[in-house]
A and B are shown apart, each in its own frame.
Chain A
């Protein structure tokens, strides 16, 4: 069965610092890959997605992610974090059955 691992439960960064959130998946082929963000009390909002093609994908709010097949990874990055980026971030995969399998999430805290 497919699985998604987000090894960092909680990350704290200073405002203006760069950010990288890690995501690894376990699946025999290349799945569709997603990053979602969830603010407290809210639903999940899509940041970006990878279906095929260019392995570096751009998303909303200045986020990007790079798909690395050799590492089965899809890490999320942002060059300069804003206080409003504080939220929980979820990596997810769709292996073709159309439903998403989510990682356990990474909670981002931003220090002023």
Chain B
């Protein structure tokens, strides 16, 4: 398996623009997580899905953030409109109930 695949690896956008981050989990994994990593706040859970259903979105910082999982092999995290304070590395991870979480390589987002 190729592991968790995230795209793009790097994204630079202007403030106010919409940003969409993409994730393909490992096949057969029924949990999918979105984390954000910053120097100030470390690794924070934003939202996670089980069987494509959002279970806990309490970590989503604002209404500007939204996440979807239309099927078992794809998820998106959207920020609209983006702000400079959204600059961070965003990680997607997937797992089954009996395994550890496997992380993607991350998307480094810079909002200027």
Contact = CB atoms under 8 A, between A and B. Distances in A.
A43 B45 contact: no
B101 interface: yes
A4 B28 CA distance: 29
A100 B45 contact: yes
A99 B56 CA distance: 9
Interface in B26-50: 31, 33, 42-43, 45, 48, 50
Contact of A46 (B4, B56, B100): B100
Interface of A: 34, 36, 42-46, 49, 90, 97-105
Given A98-B95, A98-B97, A105-B42, A43 B103 contact: yes
Contact of A102 (B42, B50, B55, B105): B42
B100 A34 contact: yes
A43 B95 contact: no
Interface of B: 4, 31, 33, 42-43, 45, 48, 50, 55-56, 91, 93, 95, 97, 100-106
Contacts of B31: 98
Contacts of B43: 90, 102, 105
Q: Which of A36, A46, A100, A105 has the most CB of B within 10 A?
A: A100
A34 B101 CA distance: 10
B100 A101 contact: no
Contacts of A97: 56
A90 B95 CA distance: 18
Nearest to B44: A102
A43 B91 contact: yes
A88 B50 CA distance: 29
Given A49-B100, A98-B31, A99-B33, A42 B105 contact: yes
A32 to B, nearest CB: 8
